[in-house]
Amino acid sequence: MVPASPAAITHAADTVVNEILKALSTALRDAPEDIADPIVEFTAQGLGNRPAKHLWRNLVAVDLSFYKSYISEEIRDEGRAQGLEQGHVQRAAEDVLLVLGQRGLEVSEEVRGRITECGDAELLRAWLVRAVVVSEAEEIFEGE
């Protein structure tokens, strides 16, 4: 099991690294945490910024989801942060639509779609401010 980690680091730029990393993550599933922890971390550090590091991070997150290491916790934290950001953006879009609706303004499917598909929280905030004062829903997009 341990030789796979140096092999992955040595071949990090080769296509064979994908198979090495998959084999290593599979082998680590049944390893005790005190053995798996340093191997996971050593492998992550050894891969540096090569593309294989992203594969390793994904394998650790999926195959070793029970695992409590620095890298696995970092991956989970990144996922939580992305989920929170998506939730904030979705809520901002809902707020714009709520204000327009409460003001009795007609919201076409085109306007609704543009608002709900927007992924920019700052832009949605600007639209929310405009939604308070516009006379037609389409006017929130003016000035862009």
In this structure, are 44 and 85 located in the same domain? no
Question: Where is the domain boundary, 50, 68, 86?
Answer: 68
Average pLDDT over residues 77-87: 69
Structural domains counted in the chain: 2
The answer on pLDDT for 104 being more than 60 is yes
Question: Where is the domain boundary, 17, 33, 68?
Answer: 68
In contact, 71 and 102? CB cutoff 8 Å: no
pLDDT of residue 34: 77
Average pLDDT over residues 98-110: 94
Query: Higher-confidence residue: 120 or 35?
Result: 120
pLDDT of residue 110: 95
pTM recorded for the entire structure: 0.47
> Torsion angle of alpha carbons 86, 88, 91, 97, nearest 10°?
-90
Is 73 within the bounds of a domain? Answer: no
Tokens for 112? 């609704």
In this structure, are 8 and 64 located in the same domain? yes
In this structure, are 84 and 137 located in the same domain? yes
Query: Higher-confidence residue: 137 or 73?
Result: 137
> Torsion angle of alpha carbons 88, 91, 92, 93, nearest 10°?
130
In contact, 74 and 39? CB cutoff 8 Å: no
Portion of the chain with pLDDT greater than 70, in percent = 74
Q: How confident is the model at residue 108 (pLDDT cuts 50, 70, 90)?
A: very high
